[in-house]
Structure 1
Amino acid sequence: MGNRFIDKLHGFSPLSPDEVKVLAKATANPRKFARRIDLIREGDRPGPVFVVLEGWACRYKILPNGTRQVLAYLMPGDSCDLHIGLLAEMDHSIQAITPALVATVDRVEMDIILDSNRGIAKAMYLSQLIDEGTMRAWITSMGRRSSLERVSHLMCELYMRARNIGLIDALDRLALPLSQALLADSLGMTTVHLNRVLKVLRESGAMTIERGVLHIEDPEKLIRMAGFDENYLHRRLRQVA
């Protein structure tokens, strides 16, 4: 298996052979994390730049009443916390959702890489801009989209992101390692409410989630139900139809 982090950055900005070697060296000694293990916790001193090579992770916050809000999902090839070292402490936690292989790049090393490699710097900044666009889409969902639109929108997003990195199988399905509790915590819903919405989507013929597998049966219908505009991901779900 190749290095999805390098593949992702190369898709944003052409990388020279030397830049590819630099990134391969920087991510050559990843660490294994078991599921539900935190890579870093809220309140910790910011650490290195995390690069997810295999598996899924999420950003989350725990509220004073003990409830959890999932802030983002990280897939293979994603990196995070490029500039958070400027802060005194983490304002959220990052946890492995599945067994994950995560490379850590020391901040001093990353600064040297960015200063010395223009292609890598451009690709990393583009990646960060897309992450910020995704965050804005989530904020919009939480504030203005209906429950049905919110769930549909997230499924469109996850499917597109997974397809872009080769996680969709030959039957156009995605193995979705997200429990209903985790999905509910990312959508600001209860699991009971989420179940009702998933039932509506299933009965509409737009999509199903069964035994942890997402199948978008009618992409055009799901796009309409979600009011999905893919510009923040710079890809088009309609291309899978």
Structure 2
Amino acid sequence: MTTHGLLKENNRGSSDRPHNTYTFVVTRRFLQLLPGRDHEAAALAALIEGPFQLPSHSDIHTDGRPASEAVVLLEGLACQYRLLDSARRQMVGFITPGDFCDFGFLSNSPVRQRVMTLGPATIGRIDLAQLGSLSNSLPNIILAGMRAASIQHAAAQELIVSLGTRDAQQRLAHLLCEIYTRLSDVGCVEADGKFDFALTQSELGEALGLSNVHVNRTIQQLRKQNLIAMSRSKVTMLNFAGLAKIASFSPAYLRVH
């Protein structure tokens, strides 16, 4: 399913967040990449068109398509994935609110990967001509994009490490710690530690190289240790330190140094 024909502008939906909430997410993410650059953050946020709502499992990007706009995830969770000739799919990374969905705009190159929503999501779009004009006067905006791309690359490397060296508990614990940290950074975790996590057990298995049975067993193990609570499309972080210890998780790869 692609975004064509599915984008719905959200003006005053009764259950939807106000536009200034989305602006907050984008601004907060930008300021993590370039601390103290409030003016640039506000200027970038002002370029965003939308918000636009997408159903679950909609393609935001397909590989090889010329980049005509920059797309920012405003709410929900998305994944980068590869589709093999056999129609098998492999997730290769995750996108959280405030993130660009692809970085082709940095080099004026085609989209390099497919990006799909996991659960209902909201996106914003930035016209590349306007972004180019803004970056000419505020070049730090491109620097922020380069830093974001570097962090996204580092997160993809961690997923490879999980597939190659971590056991099942460590793989799941590491992914949960990462998503929790990224969401917390942009204010998308509730006071009780609850956050949106729209992956099904089958999708978790795909991302982590585990069978559905193994995923279910691993979730139950983490629950029994009172590390997490999990319900449909929601996770509550009960003991982040304990989960991070299992995974040997450090957020350093998600930070600008």
Would you call these one fold, judging by a TM-score over 0.5?
Answer: yes
Find the counterpart in structure 2 of residue 6 from structure 1: 27
Find the counterpart in structure 2 of residue 26 from structure 1: 47
2:192 aligned with 1:171, yes or no? yes
1:177 is displaced (CA, Å) by 1.7
Find the counterpart in structure 1 of residue 127 from structure 2: 106
2:100 and 2:55 mapped to 1: Cα distance? 18
2:110 aligned with 1:52, yes or no? no
2:124 aligned with 1:97, yes or no? no
1:54 and 1:41 mapped to 2: Cα distance? 20
1:211 is displaced (CA, Å) by 2.8
Find the counterpart in structure 2 of residue 146 from structure 1: 167
Deviations 1:40-68 (A, max 9, x none): 22343344211112222221122223322
Find the counterpart in structure 1 of residue 57 from structure 2: 36
The TM-score normalised by the length of structure 2 is 0.81
The 8 Å contact of residues 105 and 128 in structure 2, kept in 1 or not, is answered as no
**Paired residue total:** 234
2:37 aligned with 1:15, yes or no? yes
The residue type equivalent to 2:101 in the other structure is: C
Going from structure 1 to structure 2, the CA distance change for 1:83 and 1:92 (only over 3 Å counts) comes to closer
Q: Percent identity?
A: 25
Q: SS where residue 130 of structure 1 aligns?
A: helix
Deviations 1:145-174 (A, max 9, x none): 112111110011011111111121121222
Find the counterpart in structure 2 of residue 136 from structure 1: 157
The 8 Å contact of residues 66 and 109 in structure 2, kept in 1 or not, is answered as yes
Moved more, 159-168 or 26-35: 26-35
Q: RMSD in angstroms over aligned alpha carbons?
A: 2.3
1:220 and 1:21 mapped to 2: Cα distance? 34
Determine which of 213, 218, 224 is the counterpart of 2:234.
213
In structure 1, the gaps of 5 or more residues are 236-241
The TM-score normalised by the length of structure 1 is 0.86
Find the counterpart in structure 1 of residue 15 from structure 2: none
Going from structure 1 to structure 2, the CA distance change for 1:211 and 1:47 (only over 3 Å counts) comes to same
Find the counterpart in structure 1 of residue 207 from structure 2: 186
Find the counterpart in structure 1 of residue 86 from structure 2: 65
1:102 and 1:200 mapped to 2: Cα distance? 35
Moved more, 213-222 or 179-188: 213-222
In structure 2, the gaps of 5 or more residues are 1-19
Deviations 1:70-112 (A, max 9, x none): 1222121111322367586544211122332222223333333
Find the counterpart in structure 1 of residue 148 from structure 2: 127
